[in-house]
C-alpha cells in the first residue's frame, strides 16, 4: 500500500533497530482517512475468505480493525489485555508477552462473542514476533472457531512473526513490510506478501 509506505517514511520514528514509532497517525493520534483506506485494502483482500467477525487486540489494532469491520459489514471484537488472571467459566484467556512493553498479559475473550461457527479475521497494527496474533488464534480455536486470515498494517519482516504464523498454515497479509530499521533507516521488502494468493 503505497500511501501507507509514504506515510511511514514521512512520519515514522525509528527508536532502535527493532522498534518503529508511528504515534502521529496510528498509535496515538489516528489518521482516520488513512485507516479507512487500510480498511478498503483488507476488505478487498479478505472478502473471498468470508469472515463472520473481525477480531483485534486492544488498543492499537482498534482503528484499522474498526474501519475494516465497517466496510465489510461485520462485528468487531476487541481482545482485552488483562493484567491479572480472571477465574470465570464465561471467558477464554491465554498469556501473551508484549514486545514493546516487555510484560505479560492475559489476553481475554468473553464466550458471548464467539461461536464454533465463526470464521475470524484477525487485524492488528504491527507484526513482530507473532505473540499477539498467536494468542488471538489460541482463543479463537479454544472456541472451536476458524481463523480465516490475519491482516497486519505494518510487518517487521526481519522478526519471526510471519514465519511462525505461516509455518502453522495461517494466511498473513501485510500492507507494509519492513525489511530493516538498521542505522535509523526504514527499508521496505521489495517482494509481495509471500502467502498472498
3-state helix, strand, coil in the chain (%, to 5): 35, 30, 30
d(CA 152, CA 184): 22
Closest contact distance (angstroms) between CB of 127 and ligand 5GP is 5
Contact criterion met (CB below 8 Å) for 153 and 127: no
Query: Strand pairing partners for 87?
Result: none
Q: Which is nearer to ligand 5GP, 62 or 69 (CB)?
A: 62
Three cell numbers, residue 12: 515514522
84 by Cβ neighbours in 10 Å (0-12 / 13-18 / 19+) ranks as exposed
Segment interacting with ligand 5GP, rule: CB under 6 A, options 47-55, 72-80, 125-133, 137-145: 125-133
State the minimum distance, in angstroms, from the CB of residue 136 to ligand 5GP: 9
Q: Are strands 53-57 and 76-82 parallel, antiparallel or unpaired?
A: parallel
Neighbours of 127 (CB within 10 A): 28
Residue range at the interface with ligand 5GP (CB under 6 A); choices 73-81, 108-116, 121-129, 187-195: 121-129
Question: Please, what is the minimum distance in Å from the beta carbon of residue 40 to ligand 5GP?
Answer: 21
Sheet holding 146-156, edge to edge: 91-97, 104-110, 76-82, 53-57, 119-127, 146-156, 172-180, 187-188
Q: Is 123 in the site for ligand 5GP (CB under 6 A)?
A: no
Residues 36-55, one symbol each (x = binds ligand 5GP by CB under 6 A, - = not), give: --------------------
Residue 108, interface with ligand 5GP (CB under 6 A)? Answer: no
Q: Is 112 labeled as ligand-binding?
A: no
Q: Is 43 annotated as a binding residue?
A: no
Site for ligand 5GP in 136-195 (CB under 6 A): 161
For the annotated binding site for 5-phospho-alpha-D-ribose 1-diphosphate, the residues are: 128-132
| Annotated binding-site ranges for xanthine | 20, 27, 156
Binding site for ligand 5GP (CB under 6 A): 19-22, 27, 57, 60, 99-100, 124-132, 161
Amino acid at each position: 500500500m503505497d500511501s501507507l509506505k509514504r506515510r511511514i517514511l514521512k512520519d515514522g520514528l525509528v527508536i532502535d533497530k527493532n522498534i518503529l514509532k508511528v504515534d502521529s497517525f496510528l498509535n496515538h493520534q489516528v489518521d482516520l482517512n488513512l485507516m479507512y483506506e487500510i480498511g478498503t485494502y483488507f476488505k478487498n483482500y479478505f472478502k473471498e475468505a468470508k469472515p463472520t467477525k473481525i477480531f483485534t487486540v486492544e488498543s492499537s489494532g482498534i482503528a484499522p480493525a474498526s474501519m475494516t469491520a465497517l466496510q465489510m459489514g461485520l462485528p468487531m471484537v476487541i481482545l482485552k489485555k488483562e493484567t491479572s488472571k480472571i477465574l470465570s467459566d464465561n471467558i477464554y484467556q491465554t498469556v501473551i508477552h508484549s514486545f514493546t512493553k516487555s510484560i505479560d498479559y492475559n489476553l481475554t475473550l468473553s464466550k458471548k462473542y464467539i461461536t464454533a461457527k465463526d470464521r475470524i479475521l484477525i487485524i492488528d497494527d504491527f507484526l513482530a514476533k507473532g505473540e499477539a496474533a498467536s494468542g488471538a488464534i489460541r482463543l479463537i480455536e479454544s472456541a472451536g472457531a476458524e481463523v480465516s486470515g490475519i491482516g497486519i498494517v505494518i510487518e517487521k519482516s526481519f522478526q519471526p512473526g510471519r514465519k511462525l504464523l505461516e509455518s502453522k498454515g495461517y494466511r498473513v497479509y501485510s500492507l507494509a513490510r519492513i525489511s530493516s530499521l538498521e542505522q535509523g533507516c526504514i527499508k521496505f521488502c521489495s517482494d509481495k506478501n509471500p502467502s498472498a494468493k
